[in-house]
Structure 1
Amino acid sequence: MMKKNTIAVIVNDQPGVLQRVAGLFGRRGFNIESITVGASEEPGLSRMVIVTDGDERTLEQITKQLYKLIDVIKVIDLSANAIVAREIALIKVNAEPSVRPELLGVVETFRASVVDIGTHSLMVQVVGETTKIDAMVELLQPYGIRELSRTGVTALNRGNSK
């Protein structure tokens, strides 16, 4: 059964590691829905959070292939446990003065914030699960989205698990 898998990959912070990981997915025909990379709690190591589709067998293949890469230290299947997953989006939307009160109502409902105001536009920042971002984008669509930038998912296991 196909499902969304969220995996964390701890890697050496070296040039070209992201390219090698992404290349592995491409060569094997695995799709990356989102990938985020940043510093980890360990100096010299980075954490990649990758969201991909696949069944258990596909996830097992991905894990085995990742461990073959020299700079991969650890692969963690975050989907196996409860996680906290977040994404950030910046959305620039048409906002003539007459529709601003209505737009601000949408922003408030999603606990988002206005981070820039132009003469004919607003830029909104929204943080949350992917479904929340998708819903906000859908509601802002009728106003006319000028630009949209999303970070991709970042995630950690809940509670005391590591």
Structure 2
Amino acid sequence: MNAVKLKKGASRKSAYDLKNFSGDTIETHTLAVLVDNEAGVLARVIGLFSGRGYNIESLTVAEVDHEGSRSRITVVTTGTPSVIEQIKAQLDRMVPVYEVHDLTVEGPSVERELALFKVVGKGDKRLEAIRTADIFRANVVDTTLESFVFELTGTPEKIDAFADLMRPLGLDEVARTGVAAIARGL
């Protein structure tokens, strides 16, 4: 028997570990998936990603049609264009899935995320945290003599920028919801 010849940087463990030699760029896509609202559906959808080594950057799920018992899963994922197409095709073939929309390519969409930030500090750092929160239009939802909890809604980039500015001011903890997205217009 002949030995398998692998390219440099390849692994003998799994085909999913092979390096991308095609030169395709890694893209980020937001997928909206309408599914049955029943036990185990989310696990099956997430299992598709984990079983094939696909990455999930953000995940949100909520019931959107109580009468029809349907939920919407919004997934932000990364991959080459061919991997993204593979993900969409595999999701579309799943039994509890009604619709799969790639909001990144289907036209303009609105993406928002909610985050809570706990900032601990006194004196000038406390004042600067309040000023920065005002600039970003963050709401104070809790305060003590030593800390604030800010609520901020916006794009993931806005959330990241706020976190970067709060770190030197005493950022202690962050909780993020993940991206919620919807197509614009009709």
TM-score by length of 1: 0.94
User: Structure 2, unaligned stretches of length 5 or more?
Assistant: 1-24
The aligned length equals 160
Aligned partner of 2:50 in structure 1 is 26
Show structure 1 runs of 5+ residues with no match.
none
1:109 to 135, 158, 174: 135
Return the letter of the residue paired with 2:61. Answer: V
Residue 60 of structure 1: CA displacement? Answer: 1.2
Structure 2: distance between partners of 1:21 and 1:69:
8
CA distance in 2 between partners of 1:27 and 1:13 (Å): 22
AA paired with 1:136? F
Aligned to 2:77, what secondary structure does the other structure show? Answer: strand
Structure with the bigger percentage of helix: 1
- 1:64 Cα shift? 1.5
Q: How does 1:2-151 map to 2 (within 5 A)?
A: 2-41=26-65, 43=67, 44-80=69-105, 81-151=107-177
Conserved in 1, the CA contact under 8 Å of 2:58 and 2:75?
A: yes
Moved over 4 A (4+): none
8 Å Cα contact 1:12-1:72 kept in structure 2? yes
Measured in 1, the distance between the counterparts of 2:44 and 2:64 equals 19
Deviation at 1:147, TM superposition (A): 1.3
Give the structure with higher Rg (CA).
2
Distance 2:181 2:33 in 1: 11
1:2 to partner: Cα distance: 1.5
Aligned to 2:183: 157
Paired with 1:23 and 1:83, the residues of 2 have a C-alpha distance of 27
Q: Deviations over 1:4-31 (max 9, x none)?
A: 1000000000011111111110011100
RMSD of aligned residue pairs (Cα, Å): 1.2
RCO higher in 1 or 2 (8 Å CA, sep ≥ 6)? Answer: 1
2:33–2:101: 8 Å Cα contact kept in structure 1?
A: yes
Query: SS in structure 1 opposite 2:178?
Result: coil
Q: CA deviation at 1:97?
A: 4.4
The one-letter code of the counterpart of 1:76 is H
Deviates more, 1:6-15 or 1:95-104: 95-104
SS state at 2:50 partner:
helix
Normalized against structure 2, the TM-score is what? 0.82
Instruction: Name the CA distance, whole Å, in 2 between partners of 1:79 and 1:92.
Output: 32
Structure 2 distance, partners of 1:128, 1:11, is 26
Residues 111-155 of structure 1: CA deviation (Å, up to 9, x unaligned): 111100012110000100000000000000002222110000010
